[in-house]
Amino acid sequence: MNNNTKTVLVTGASSGLGRATAEHFHAQGWNVVATMRTPEGDHGLTPSDRMLVTRLDVQDTGSIRSAVAASIQRFGRIDVLVNNAGYGAYGPLEAMSPEEVRRQFDVNVLGLIATTQAVLPHFRANRSGCVVNVSSIGGRIAFPLGSLYHATKFAVEGFSEALRYELAEIGVAVKVVEPGGMKTDFGGRSLAVVNDEGLGEYQPLFRKVLDVLGPLVAAGSAPELAAEVVYTAATDGTSRLRYEAGPDAVQFLEARRSSDDATFFAGVEAQFSPDR
């Protein structure tokens, strides 16, 4: 094993952007720790001298500590942490159970924080490292029926921005990657659609949101494109914080920056209007 080879730990690496990120770093010659809740499942990654596939459930602090320890034992160090694990809960807030509310924040925010905390002592001892937090355009703009998801991604943005100042004191960089839509299954494991048809007043909007977001996601970028952005963020050596991933991300975020609230909200309302 080349002791100069750098190591990345990726959460949520069983599919989508997480798997593409693990594969991209590996192709660039890095050691990769690809973590997921069920590593014995069909994830498509092949363990090798430079690829450790192991369990990490961001809702289980014991598994986080074990994965970090296994990474250091196997490769000697961790140079980059990619906090990718997450999902989106969409639906009327009234339909969300307390358990769904807690799970959304546990996975997208508290789990990300816990994983970062577990790696920081190692980074501090080395006086180097990089934390890449996968946010979303949904951390800068919001769409109807995504109140929980957007709340968590807005939280990741604020967490990352504040942490950037803090970790600069120990030589550690913080980066945020903001993908737009990616070519994944809209109803798959990364999305939890919650509805209560008894809440009749929300049903026209609910149907319209599914009609609009489905094609937007299907027309999005390949996860491999976003993985390249993650790699750039982790390796460019700059103090830049945010990286947009995908043409739609660039388009949406530029529209948000160039519009006042009233103008932007009117555009979103027109796009998601049940009457259109």
Q: Any idea which residues carry the catalytic annotation?
A: 135, 149, 153
> Is 177 in contact with 234 (CB distance < 8 Å)?
no
Q: What angle do CA 73, 79, 84 make, to 5 degrees?
A: 100
Please list the residues that pair with 178 across neighbouring strands: 244
**Euclidean distance between CA atoms 22 and 82, whole angstroms:** 9
**Euclidean distance between CA atoms 42 and 196, whole angstroms:** 33
What residues have CB less than 8 Å from 14, skipping those under 6 apart?
36, 37, 38, 39, 41, 43
> Is 55 in contact with 38 (CB distance < 8 Å)?
yes
Maximum alpha-carbon separation in the chain: 62
Place of tokens 């590996």: 26
What number of other Cβ atoms are within 10 A of residue 270's Cβ? Answer: 10
The DSSP call for residue 91 is S
